[in-house]
């Protein structure tokens, strides 16, 4: 799987550090001291970029703001069949029922594009309506150089953000303990459902796509 190619968004956890000689290969980057909000380093922080699966940070934030973790969600055919072949998925099946929390793991651990669609439909009835909510919420957070057209980050010329905007969105998402817990999870197994009974090699165990967590 490819690394998210364009934006490095780091919420820095220490209070003092020297970055006199920083070399960042990413086209855009921002490094921020978490407790003060002080920008320690930036590179093209306001340049519009295609965010790919970093989009899912905003998707997760809206879900956490709108839903109970224990809420039940049914996977629709459209949510899973509209995903193009070859993209990252969580192998969800139409008709399966999961909790919101389980789908957040499917969204953030393997970067499931199908899980993003399922959650978007659950919140707003459709992905297009969810995208409207994404743009509204982004602007509320001050992320005014962004525009989102889907919940998963699949490429679209009108789907873009900036490193600084992603920082604004991410600092809101990390206020939720469950978001931090899921993002730190390296492996997660989905439960059996009435439609998908896991045996042998058919177990849906997801491994993180975040290479910073992999040895």
Higher pLDDT, 15 or 134: 134
**Is the confidence at residue 136, as pLDDT, over 80?**
yes
Residue 15 annotated in active site? no
Give the ranges where the chain is alpha helix by DSSP (H): 55-66, 77-81, 100-108, 113-124, 127-140, 163-173, 177-183
Catalytic residue among 28, 56, 133, 164: 56
Can 77 be counted among the known catalytic residues?
no
The per-residue pLDDT for 3 is: 38
Q: Which one of 28, 53, 88, 146 is the catalytic residue? A: 53
Is the pLDDT at 7 greater than 70? The verdict is no
State yes or no: pLDDT of 11 exceeds 50.
Answer: no
Q: Specify the DSSP class assigned to residue 192.
A: P
Q: Which residue has the tokens 């393997």?
A: 110
* Active-site residue (options: 76, 93, 97, 111): 111
Active site residue 28: no
Rounded-to-integer distance, Cα 126 and Cα 117, Å: 8
The answer, yes or no, to whether residue 186 has pLDDT greater than 50, is: yes
Whether residue 134 has pLDDT greater than 50: yes
Separation of alpha carbons 144 and 135, rounded Å: 9
* pLDDT tens track for 74-98: 999 999 999 999 999 999 999 999 9
The answer to whether residue 108 scores a pLDDT higher than 50 is yes
Residue 197: other Cβ atoms inside 10 A: 8
Higher pLDDT, residue 40 or 160 = 160
- The pTM for the full model equals 0.88
pLDDT at residue 206, rounded to an integer: 92
Mean pLDDT of the chain: 88
């Amino acid at each position: 799987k490819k690394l998210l190619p364009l934006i490095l968004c780091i919420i820095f956890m220490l209070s003092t550090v020297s970055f006199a000689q920083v070399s960042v290969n990413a086209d855009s980057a921002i490094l921020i001291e978490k407790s003060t909000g002080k920008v320690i380093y930036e590179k093209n922080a306001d340049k519009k970029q295609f965010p790919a699966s970093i989009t899912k940070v905003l998707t997760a934030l809206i879900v956490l703001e709108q839903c109970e973790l224990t809420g039940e969600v049914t996977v629709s055919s459209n949510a899973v069949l509209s995903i193009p072949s070859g993209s990252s998925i969580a192998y969800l099946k139409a008709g399966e029922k999961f909790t919101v929390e389980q789908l957040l793991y499917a969204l953030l651990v393997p970067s499931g594009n199908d899980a993003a669609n399922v959650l978007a439909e659950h919140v707003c009835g459709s992905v297009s309506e969810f995208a409207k909510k994404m743009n509204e919420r982004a602007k509320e957070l001050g992320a005014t150089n962004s525009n989102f057209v889907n919940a998963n980050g699949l490429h679209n010329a009108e789907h873009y953000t900036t490193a600084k905007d992603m920082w604004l969105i991410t600092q809101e998402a990390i206020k939720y303990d469950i978001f931090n817990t899921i993002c730190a999870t390296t492996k997660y197994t989905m439960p059996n459902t009435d439609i998908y009974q896991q045996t042998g090699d058919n177990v849906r165990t997801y491994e993180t796509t975040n290479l910073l967590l992999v040895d």
